[in-house]
Structures are given as C-alpha cells and as structure tokens.
C-alpha cells in the first residue's frame, strides 16, 4: 500500500473525481477525511464504505469559508494527530462566466476554484511543516492550461483554473525547503456526475467532434484521475514539485 498510515484531506469528495480520489486513498492505506458541502453525498459514502472503520471520516464544510476550512483541518488533526496529504478538488463554474457575465458569478467561480485552494493550503501548512513533509495535489483543468475541450466558453472558470497552476508553481517554490511538494492535475473531460450530465446534454455533432479530437477516443473515468493523485501523494513522486500532469486523452488543441 503506497499511502499506508498517511493522513489525507480530500475536498469536493462527495461525488465525482473527489470521491474517486478519496476511495483510492483508502484502498492504498491512507486515513482519509472526505470534505464537501454536500451532506447527503457524504452520508452515502459513509453508508457504503465506512463500516465502523476509523480510516474514514466525512466532514460537511464550505471550502470557500476560512472558518470552515480551519475547522476541517483542526478536526482532522485532533482525530489522527497530523496531516500528510491535501487534495484540493473543490471547483465548478457558477452562472455566466463570459466576459459580460455578472460580477457575482465571477466571484463565486473564483471562490470555488481558487480561493478554496488557497485557504486549504494555508491551513494545512503548519501541520505539514511540523513533520517536515507533505503532499499537496491541486486539481486544475484542461481549460486552465489550454481551453475547454467541450466547446463551452466559460472564461471565469478557465481563468480560475489557470490561477491554480500558478499557485501550484509558486507555492512549490516557497515550501520546498520544508520537504513539502505541491503538484497539480489538469484533467480533460471526465465522466464524473457533472461531466456525464454535460456529456449527455451535448449536441451529437459537438460530442462527436470532441471525441474525434481526443486521440484516445473517450472521456476519462474518475478513477483514472484518482490514480494520478495517488502517485503524486506517494513516495513514488518524492522528487516532483511545481509540476502539472495533464490527463486529457491527448486533446491539446490550443
């Protein structure tokens, strides 16, 4: 088990990529806090996977609120006496993210995609520094490195996910002396709950175009992204920091 006895926090963990990462961490031996604002989604994880185990805890919290973030970190430290891994997975596009979109929509999108990651990184660093080690994995997006590969233009989302990449590089430089690594994953289209809904709502012509432009010819399963997170959180990636791993099936049209 590559994460045996490690202590992890995964945000946005009630569904989709976050849930897949959390479950993969458990399978690799990590004690894992699943964090989400979606209480019912977390309850379902508990029903299906907890089974009285002390290896899993669910915490309902709003990752865009500093007080909630501090509560999550403090609760995790009290329960397991430390934090080794953070996966910042919370994100999403709110409303109209076009250049003429409402200011509130832009603020909400940046809060979900970027502010949440800043708050959690800041909150976990004291625990990681106390151990002189740590792994931070930030989930960005293909849209933050290239552009959306679904034909949906959301400038706010793309800009926020691009900011995550710079946060990753800059923080990696800042905390390397503490033996803390900071890396990012930039997924393309993923058949998470939201991704599947988006895929099914596409016009057939758009769906076929996106698939034809993806050399592997399919959209990712969340487990395929989770396996990358396990690698970055493990000792196998001990000399990688400030790096972004793109997982988009080969789609790289600029």
Residue given tokens 């900071």 in the structure block: 182
The β-bridge partners of 35 are 11, 59
Q: How many CB atoms lie within 10 A of CB 1?
A: 11
Which residues neighbour 143 within 8 Å (Cβ) at sequence distance 6 or greater?
149, 154, 157, 158, 161
Tell me how far apart the alpha carbons of residues 105 and 99 are, in angstroms, rounded to a whole number: 11
Which residues neighbour 63 within 8 Å (Cβ) at sequence distance 6 or greater?
11, 12, 35, 37, 69, 90, 112, 116, 119, 120
Length in residues, the chain: 254
202: which DSSP letter? Answer: S
**Measured CA angle at 115 (ends 109, 116), to 5 deg:** 95
Tell me how far apart the alpha carbons of residues 124 and 138 are, in angstroms, rounded to a whole number: 13
How are strands ordered across the β-sheet holding 180-187? 56-60, 31-36, 7-11, 85-88, 134-139, 180-187, 244-247
146 catalytically annotated: no
The β-bridge partners of 181 are 135
Catalytic residue among 146, 157, 218, 239: 157
Tell me how far apart the alpha carbons of residues 68 and 16 are, in angstroms, rounded to a whole number: 22
The β-bridge partners of 10 are 34, 87
Write out the catalytic residue numbers. Answer: 157
């Amino acid at each position: 088990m590559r994460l045996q006895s490690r202590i992890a926090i995964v945000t946005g963990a009630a569904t989709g990529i976050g849930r897949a990462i959390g479950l993969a961490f458990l399978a690799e031996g990590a004690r894992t806090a699943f964090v989400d604002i979606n209480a019912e989604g977390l309850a379902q994880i508990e029903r299906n996977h907890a089974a009285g185990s002390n290896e899993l805890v669910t915490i309902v919290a709003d990752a865009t609120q500093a007080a909630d973030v501090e509560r999550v970190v403090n609760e995790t430290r009290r329960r397991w006496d430390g934090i080794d891994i953070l996966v910042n997975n919370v994100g999403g596009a709110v409303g109209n993210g076009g250049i003429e979109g409402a200011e509130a929509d832009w603020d909400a999108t940046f809060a979900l995609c970027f502010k949440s990651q800043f708050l959690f990184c800041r909150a976990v660093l004291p625990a990681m520094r106390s151990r002189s080690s740590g792994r931070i994995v930030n989930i960005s997006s293909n849209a933050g490195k290239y552009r959306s590969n679904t034909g949906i233009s959301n400038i706010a989302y793309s800009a926020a996910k691009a900011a995550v990449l710079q946060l990753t590089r800059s923080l990696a430089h800042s905390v390397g002396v503490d033996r803390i690594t900071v890396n990012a994953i930039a997924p393309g289209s993923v058949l998470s709950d939201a991704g599947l809904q988006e895929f099914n709502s596409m016009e057939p012509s758009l769906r076929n175009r996106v698939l034809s432009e993806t050399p592997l010819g399919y959209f990712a399963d969340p487990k395929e992204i989770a396996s990358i997170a396990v690698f970055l959180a493990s000792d196998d990636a001990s000399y990688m920091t400030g790096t972004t791993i793109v997982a988009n099936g080969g789609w790289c049209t600029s």
